Structure 1
Amino acid sequence: MSSSYIHEILPGAPRGPMLFVFHGTGGDERQFLAFGRELLPTATIVSPRGDVSEFGAARFFRRTGEGVYDMDDLARATAKMADFVQSHISAVQPSAVFGLGYSNGANILASLVFEQPKLFDAAVLMHPLIPFEPQVNGSLAESHILITAGRRDPICPPNLTSRLDAYLRAAGADVTVEWHEGGHEVRPNEIEAARRLFAAEPVKGA
């Protein structure tokens, strides 16, 4: 199994679902473990720590300024993370594979979705910022994606959230967008929307 990232695992039920959780800038592999368990009590939760340090804050890829990404490093990180995710899937053979990321974690998860559309059955992107035009490497048909966002988010402008929604829909994804009236913080309606998404997902072989 890949050990390319420092990570934590909470084992779940045999042949149950697997949930990968991705922290925001300055978080770590423990940030969303309990949250993941709350959302999916029977799932195996896998939480990697970003391998890039920005003035001591862990991230999944480099940037040169707020909203200005090092695209070469994003490509590196996406390929590395795809290998990490696939190795854990291969080892456990889960009934379904889900992803959840917040902020920088949502950005690396979105990049994985673009690059490998069949890797996740469903994904929750909390306050993602995709300031570039993504190229989806295939079809997202049968993929369920929830985007959550704040209408006054100073980091992720609402127009870019709407543009990401349009890109994902154009690639065939079933997309839901959950808004709140605040900023970059996570609010209860987002958590409930994530819970609904995962609860509605069929489990393969069930």
Structure 2
Amino acid sequence: MSYVARRTDGRDGAPLFLTFHGTGGSEDQFHGLAEQLLPGAHVVSPRGDVSEMGAARFFRRTGEGVYDMDDLARRTKAMAAFIAAEKTRTGAGRVLALGYSNGANILAAVAFLHPDLVDDLVLMHPLIPWTPAPQPGLSGRRVHVTAGERDPICPAPLTQALVAYLLAQKAAVSTFWHPGGHEIRQEELGSIQRFLTPSAP
């Protein structure tokens, strides 16, 4: 599989920053944000290659919160290969990635199987409705999880279960909760900036 993707080549030695859109988004949803968060980085934003009634996604589902696990497995493997190829192409020594909703889910799925591919992960409103297998390779990986306390799509207990799983794998986990739902809030973006650039105010 190959992906339509938007790319901004950074300076030599710069990190690689990958972004993954939510359902119905595109490669443009977070590309500009990534350029602002890490100026000079290599930024790569793939477009999901699954269409759900015209809305782009990274894997199929059979209902709200019900995933086609066989399709997810295939597309996780494809995405891992894509990330590895972009890492080789850019020569980046550090890889960061940000995903929102469906994009956070494919990013998490890759990390569960290939934790060596991405160093720092931002999972915005993820929904992982299964218990991942233990993954010692997540130890020390930096993960920032953001969520809404009243998110009807990604219920808080499932987000808390994901955080508990990551902590059990000894990942370096930080969280940010806002009092709303599935929307992205400005203060949420501020928490992401502080996670990616700890010297930010």
- Output the aligned Cα RMSD: 1.2
Distance in 2, matches of 1:136 and 1:86, equals 22
Q: For 1:160, which of 155, 158, 161 is the aligned residue? A: 158
Q: Deviations over 1:24-73 (max 9, x none)?
A: 00011111110111111121100000010000000000000000000000
Identify which of 10, 33, 36 aligns with 2:8.
Answer: 10
Helix, strand or coil for the counterpart of 1:131?
Answer: coil
Report deviation, 1:149.
0.2
1:81 aligns with 2:79: yes
What are the residue-to-residue correspondences of 1:1-206 with 2, within 5 Å? 4-200=2-198
> Tell me, what secondary structure is at the counterpart of 1:119?
coil
- 1:148, 1:131 → 2: CA distance? 17
Q: Check conservation: 2:135, 2:169, Cα contact below 8 A.
A: no
Residues 118-149 of structure 1, C-alpha deviation per residue, up to 9 Å, x if partnerless? 11110000000001111244321220000000
Please report how far the alpha carbon of residue 91 of structure 1 lies from its aligned counterpart in structure 2 after TM superposition.
Answer: 1.3
Report if the CA contact (8 A) 1:127-1:184 is conserved: yes
Q: Is the 1:19–1:97 contact (alpha carbons within 8 Å) kept by the matching residues of 2?
A: yes
Alignment TM-score, normalising by the size of structure 1? 0.94
Q: Is the 8 A contact 2:101 2:126 kept in 1?
A: yes
The share of aligned pairs that are identical, in percent, is 52
- Describe the shift of the 1:79–1:136 C-alpha distance in structure 2 as closer, same or farther (beyond 3 A): farther
Give the direction of change, closer, same or farther, for the CA distance of 1:157–1:30 in structure 2 (3 Å limit). Answer: same
Letter in 2 for 1:100: L
Mean Cα deviation higher: 89-98 or 143-152: 89-98
Cα distance in structure 1, aligned partners of 2:165 and 2:137? 11
Q: Is the 8 A contact 1:139 1:172 kept in 2?
A: no
The alignment partner of 2:161 has SS state of helix
Structure 1: segments with no counterpart, 5+ residues: 202-206
Q: Secondary structure at the match of 2:126?
A: coil
Instruction: In structure 2, give the amino acid aligned to 1:25.
Output: T
Q: TM-score, normalised by structure 2?
A: 0.96
